[in-house]
């Protein structure tokens, strides 16, 4: 029963949440909304579980003096500081949490992280643009057109280059993006159905 009950609950709630898209009756929609509220509560408990697991793992590493254990202390201290600031001062504009911790610390650090990733992206692009086949040549030519079309010097070279860049981004690029999204959506639907019907049981520890 330890595995049968979760499987039956998953089957029931999964089929019911799919049913709401095909049955517009007010009773079905109301019950689906109630189930979604329950899901929010479960997610909130999952956050608590995640935070407790984070504290437990980092405290264990600090006690064992594992490599880079000093950074674990900073992690725990940052967690405690953010939680206390949010509970004591709130998270509204003007509060210590919003203005100091979020806008003046978190946002600049995130921008720095993305700026650092730009160098890795440039390095990967350099390796990808090595023309060894006609596919690589097509990729390199497209990249050059897009990059030149986004800067003023591109319009100086050819006045219609920005328009060509827009066409590349809106037609071939959009086609590829939608194909990827459709494939990912089909994969997500297949995985969801496997979980609903009990074929995929990794969430049970198997």
Q: Count the Cβ atoms, other than its own, within 10 Å of residue 16.
A: 14
pLDDT score, position 1: 66
Q: Which two tokens stand for residue 41?
A: 């509560």
**8 Å CB contact between 143 and 129:** yes
35 in the Ramachandran plot: left (φ > 0), alpha (ψ -120 to 50) or beta? alpha
pLDDT score, position 205: 67
Cite the DSSP H helix spans in the chain: 4-19, 26-63, 69-89, 107-128, 134-149, 152-157, 161-170, 172-196
Indicate the pTM of the whole model: 0.56
pLDDT score, position 167: 92
In the chain the first and final C-alpha atoms are separated, in Å, by: 15
pLDDT score, position 52: 92
Task: For the chain, state the CA radius of gyration.
Answer: 25
| Local confidence pLDDT in tens for the 206 residues of the chain | 667 787 788 888 888 888 888 888 888 888 888 989 998 998 999 999 999 999 999 999 999 988 889 999 999 999 999 999 999 988 888 899 989 999 999 999 998 988 888 788 777 777 766 767 787 788 878 888 888 888 888 888 888 888 889 999 999 999 999 999 999 999 988 888 888 887 877 766 65
| Rounded distance between C-alpha atoms, residue 159 and residue 166, angstroms | 13
**8 Å CB contact between 155 and 161:** yes
């Amino acid at each position: 029963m330890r595995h049968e009950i979760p499987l039956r609950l998953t089957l029931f709630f999964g089929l019911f949440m799919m049913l709401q898209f095909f049955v517009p009756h007010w009773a079905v929609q109301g019950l689906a909304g109630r189930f979604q509220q329950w899901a929010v509560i479960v997610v909130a408990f999952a956050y608590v579980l995640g935070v407790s697991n984070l504290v437990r793992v980092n405290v264990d590493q600090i006690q064992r003096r594992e490599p880079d254990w000093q950074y674990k202390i900073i992690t725990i201290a940052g967690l405690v500081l953010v939680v206390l600031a949010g509970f004591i001062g709130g998270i509204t504009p003007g509060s210590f949490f919003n203005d100091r911790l979020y806008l003046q610390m978190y946002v600049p650090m995130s921008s720095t992280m993305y700026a650092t990733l730009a160098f890795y992206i440039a390095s990967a692009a350099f390796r990808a643009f090595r023309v060894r086949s006609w596919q690589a040549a097509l990729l390199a030519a497209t990249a050059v057109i897009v990059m030149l079309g986004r800067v003023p010097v591109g319009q100086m070279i050819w006045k219609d280059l920005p328009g060509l860049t827009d066409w590349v981004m809106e037609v071939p690029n959009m086609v590829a993006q939608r194909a990827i999204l459709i494939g990912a959506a089909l994969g997500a639907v297949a995985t969801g159905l496997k979980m609903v019907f009990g074929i995929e049981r990794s969430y049970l520890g198997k």
